[in-house]
Amino acid sequence: MSVLQEICPNVRNMKNLEGAILARQACQIKEELRQGVRKPYREVIDVSFSDPHRTGVKPLTFVRQVLAACIYPQLMNSNKLPVDVRQRAQRLLRACYGGSIGSYSEAAGIPDIIHRISGFITKRDGGLPSYPENIHTTAGSQWSLMNVLKVLVNSRASPRTAVLTPGPCYSTAILSFMSVGAVVVPYYLSEKQGWKLQIEELHRALDSTKGVYNPVALYIINPGNPAGLVQSRKSIEDVIKFVSEKRLFLLADEVYQDYVYGGNKEFVSYKRVLAEMGPPLSDTVELASFHSASKGFLGECGLRAGYVELVNLDRAVMKHTNTLILKQACAPVLGQIALDLMMNPPQPGDPSYPLYSMETQYMQTTLAHNVKKALLVINSLPGFCCQPVEGGQFLFPRLFLPHKAVQKAKEAGIQPDTFYCIRLLEEAGVLASPGCEYNQKEGTHHIRFCIMTHMDIMEELLKRLTTFHTQFMQDFS
């Protein structure tokens, strides 16, 4: 037995992502295009990630100006930057040790920024108090999730620790659970009902663990990734009652809270609903809420910063959680600054506000247009069906593949939706993700692609997809 096998069983148990096949193929195609190899397209449209800047969305000017001034403070000596940008950069640098972003911060984050995150949460939740000592910044929401999991999951326990996880669910969350030794127990969202979360399905999933695993937590993504569901207040209340009754820890992934565009839908945080339900629930249900600078209109994925707010944790557990975080390095300071800018954007009357407002409104308009157009096109294609999307950055349409295509995939030793995505990449130059990576219900096939991109790129993507899909269905019918 190798050293890795001996000391890292959790790593060995992690499944390989079929998307890695597509990523390698995309790199090869891009290199061929650079070398002048002729293909039916001039460039690859990569919509496989929730990375707006990768798909061509420009960074917010105010955010990049403040970041630039913090990196190179000499910029603040000129009048080329708006006065509110310079004032914000000066304030942020004063909060850094040595007045430099190159210094470490406290492990939990820069205190001034933690307090402003607390203020943002309080304002978001209608005045409900948020306490800075319950907030920790990390290098992204997945790091925050991992820190909480390390406290919840005993990888050597028997029976093994389990986490109830939505299906579909994005792949990095699934890998995070597996990497700490947790068993992923899926509860399936109802696709026919617009990916609705059904309490009966939570009970079914929990019952399936009896005598086999020890369930400790329920993981929720709201708004959903990849399905795009925005939970109603009633749905959130039902979930809170369920975790209270079953004594489960509630993990609320709320990183897409700024992306809600479905009819009369609005985002309401789990913390707010929990508090408004009153005692004893509001005093006893243990909750961790996650947010990130990668999502929302900031889209600063490469800066790696997120936060977690912990609610109702037992003091002894909180002590161990703090110890775990204090043993780690701080989140990237530039990422923490991005978090601060996300929580505290320019306000009416500020010099930067008109441009900031114009840029964010353009993003909202673009997203609404892309959702409407993509749903119209996809649902017009035979063998495709996509439920209405209420929030988030993705479409997750279902594929009804011909038997010949499913058989061909089986012969190649890959999943049917991976087979479809490989052909889509090779023949149309569109890089999407196969549904098999997202904990989808057995026997179903999907693809996932990001819709936060320029309108003209989305138009080209849908044009390519339509041409490819029509030919694909003819070839395998």
Amino acid at 218: L
Q: Are residues 282 and 406 in the same domain?
A: no
Q: Are residues 106 and 204 in the same domain?
A: yes
pLDDT (tens digit, 9 = 90+) per residue, 75-128? 999 888 999 999 999 999 999 999 999 999 998 899 999 999 999 999 999 999
Q: Examine the fold and report which residue of 296, 315, 343 is the final residue of a domain before the chain moves on.
A: 343
Q: Are residues 102 and 178 in the same domain?
A: yes
Q: Are residues 339 and 362 in the same domain?
A: no
Report the CATH number that the domain containing residue 469 is assigned in CATH: 3.90.1150.10
Q: Are residues 372 and 432 in the same domain?
A: yes
Report the CATH number that the domain containing residue 231 is assigned in CATH: 3.40.640.10
Q: Are residues 217 and 244 in the same domain?
A: yes
pLDDT (tens digit, 9 = 90+) per residue, 294-332? 887 788 888 889 999 999 998 877 877 777 766 777 889
Q: Is residue 22 part of a domain?
A: yes
**Dmax of the chain from CA atoms?**
68
**Domain carrying residue 210:** 97-343
Nearest to 439 by CA among 140, 254, 205: 205
Q: Is residue 77 part of a domain?
A: no
Q: Are residues 307 and 453 in the same domain?
A: no
Judge contact between 122 and 130, C-beta under 8 A. yes
Q: Are residues 378 and 276 in the same domain?
A: no
Domain count, the chain: 2
User: What would the two tokens of residue 295 be?
Assistant: 């999502």
Specify the residue for token string 């929730």.
50
pLDDT on residue 112? 96
Q: Are residues 325 and 232 in the same domain?
A: yes
Q: In Å, how far are 104, 261, 294, 399 from 255, measured between CA atoms?
A: 25, 15, 8, 27
Q: Examine the fold and report which residue of 291, 313, 343 is the final residue of a domain before the chain moves on.
A: 343
Q: Is residue 82 part of a domain?
A: no
CA dihedral 354, 357, 358, 360 (to 10 degrees): 160
Q: Is residue 217 part of a domain?
A: yes
Judge contact between 417 and 434, C-beta under 8 A. yes
Q: Is residue 400 part of a domain?
A: yes
Q: Is residue 351 part of a domain?
A: no
Task: State the burial class of residue 150 (Cβ atoms within 10 Å of its Cβ: 0-12, 13-18, 19+).
Answer: middle
Q: Are residues 321 and 427 in the same domain?
A: no
Q: Is residue 411 part of a domain?
A: yes
Q: Is residue 67 part of a domain?
A: no
Q: Are residues 149 and 244 in the same domain?
A: yes
CA dihedral 149, 154, 158, 162 (to 10 degrees): 0
Q: Examine the fold and report which residue of 284, 308, 343 is the final residue of a domain before the chain moves on.
A: 343
In the chain, which stretches have pLDDT less than 50?
Answer: 1-8, 11-14
What is the three-class DSSP state of 254?
A: coil
Nearest to 294 by CA among 330, 320, 258: 258
What CA–CA distance (Å, rounded) separates 270 from 251? 10
What CA–CA distance (Å, rounded) separates 33 from 461? 18
pLDDT on residue 438? 93
What CA–CA distance (Å, rounded) separates 273 from 281? 10
pLDDT on residue 4? 42
pLDDT on residue 14? 45
Judge contact between 50 and 225, C-beta under 8 A. yes
